[in-house]
Chain A
Amino acid sequence: MDEMKLPALASLQKQQMERELSALNEKTSRYGLTLSQREITELAEGRMEALQSSGRVEFGEGILPRLALAFCDSPYLNEENYAESLGELQECFYYYKSAAGERFADEELLSMMREAFDGEAQGSLEYLADTTLAELCRAVNRGEEWEAPGRRPLTWRQYEDE
């Protein structure tokens, strides 16, 4: 490790995330949403690409399990678009996490994304990314006031308690 680089994370994290997503299927299946093994592998690979393109590094299981949990009861997700939507939401999440200058905690950004997705975006990922979140980032970067949305995604504990 003479060079300053971040090796040896990718394969371990990929395995960990795949395990988490497989376990998540048990919870999301009640909403008719599950991921096949192929989809899980593709999402794990997509995570690496999304992190790389947004210039980010992630430790542990990553955001995808929490993203899935946050969106699984959205009326705009179904079995046909679930995997692809998660992939795009993941990409969107990492991009705007950087674009907003680290101003949002993970839970805040997840909450805003969910609220906007179900609200003004009406299930359109394109609208969510190119309009709502872009406007929000511009506002934050201009130093304008911003309030956290009232609705927060369920945590694992809340989900278990339901």
Chain B
Amino acid sequence: MNELMQAADGKIEQQPPPTEEERLAIEKKCMALLARRAARYSMGDSTSLPEDTALRLLRSLRYVVGQCGLSPTALAAADWNTLYEQGLACLHTKLDQGRKLYLAAHATLPDVGNRSLKETMDEIADFFRRYDVRYFAAEIPCDIDYQLCCPVPEELCGIDYIILYLRRILIENDFLHRFSSQALIAFLEREMPEYRELILNLYEPVAAMAVGLTLAREPVEGLMLTQEGRQQIAQQFLQLQKAEADTELTKAAWALAGHLAITLPQGREYLISAARELRPRIMAALNRREAFS
């Protein structure tokens, strides 16, 4: 039922659970629609399908009908043929949206030469050619190797996954463009000499360095933290509890966003989320220092 209730931003809308009568009505309508979809899929040539194919069709039709965002009560009463057509129309609109997001994301890719990012964007271009919204709308027919700093929830599927992925790529691209290509390349070559060939996220290490520079009150644009800056951060965090450390990181991310003129809420929230992920790594690094001191 959760698939039917999932909104496009990845959040699952909480609906009251269906009554037993509603559940049976939904199941009956779903299976009737599945039988029709299966007949269309086989073009009348087959009365039977491999179970795997039938499950894929089932998952797809539930995803399509779920686009309508109805409550269990409404689903139990509705004409599922009509819902299916409405859901398909919604997905076609999302496909248009996705194509625009792709073009924007592709146009704003950072010019640092990471192969994984380029190949993933090529794969997403192929997604729009391969995506079968009629029968397999819940699937993502492409390989997405480039991992985001804040990954898309795995529960998302189909074009919804791609849309959120591209939105987050745009956020990451926008952040990376706040730094010069020379500074980015110099930083990446220093920290990860093989970054061009590695499957790694570019945003995360740059954001981590920028947050660190903000904490140390050193210039952000150069992406280079001095030894004194590292010691200052270590001194600061040694005395902090987890919650206090999270607060300091959040404040630093907020200040960094202001300094870089990241005004969109999504961009700021993304940076804050990335900054909070630094706490365990900072604590682990401090623990190692103490262990060896």
Contact = CB atoms under 8 A, between A and B. Distances in A.
Contacts of A63: 47-48
Interface in B43-57: 45-52, 54-55
Contacts of A5: 55
A51 B59 CA distance: 20
A109 B51 CA distance: 19
Nearest to B43: A105
A55 B50 contact: yes
B49 A1 contact: no
Nearest to A66: B47
Contact of B30 (A1, A51, A56, A59): A1
B51 A56 contact: yes
B47 A60 contact: yes
23 contacts: A1-B1, A1-B27, A2-B1, A2-B2, A4-B58, A6-B31, A6-B34, A6-B58, A8-B27, A8-B28, A9-B31, A55-B50, A56-B50, A58-B48, A58-B49, A60-B35, A61-B47, A66-B47, A97-B46, A102-B50, A105-B46, A106-B45, A106-B46
A62 to B, nearest CB: 6
A144 B222 CA distance: 64
B39 A4 contact: no
Contacts of B252: none
A97 B51 contact: no
Interface of B: 1-2, 23, 26-28, 30-31, 34-35, 38-39, 45-52, 54-55, 58-59, 62
A7 interface: yes
Contacts of B38: 57, 59
Contacts of B45: 105-107
Nearest to A101: B50
Interface of A: 1-2, 4-9, 51, 55-63, 66, 94, 97-98, 102, 105-107
Contacts of B34: 6, 59
Q: Main SS of the interface on chain B? A: helix
Contacts of A4: 55, 58-59
Contacts of A9: 31
Chain A CB within 10 Å — which of B30, B35, B47, B49 has the most? B47
A55 B47 contact: no
B39 A59 contact: yes
B34 to A, nearest CB: 7
A58 B47 contact: yes
Closest 6 pairs between A and B when the two form their complex, measured CB to CB: A105-B45, A59-B35, A58-B48, A57-B54, A56-B48, A55-B51
Contacts of A60: 35, 39, 47
Contacts of B46: 97, 102, 105-106
B52 A55 contact: yes
A8 B31 contact: yes
Nearest to A2: B1
Given A1-B23, A7-B27, A57-B54, A62 B47 contact: yes
A7 B39 CA distance: 18
A66 B52 CA distance: 24
A107 B58 CA distance: 25
A63 B46 CA distance: 9
B124 to A, nearest CB: 26
B167 to A, nearest CB: 27
Contacts of A62: 47-48
A57 B27 contact: no
Given A59-B38, A59-B39, A6 B51 contact: yes
A9 B45 CA distance: 20
A140 to B, nearest CB: 15
Contacts of A102: 46, 50
Contact of B47 (A2, A6, A7, A59): A59
Given A1-B23, A4-B59, A57 B51 contact: yes
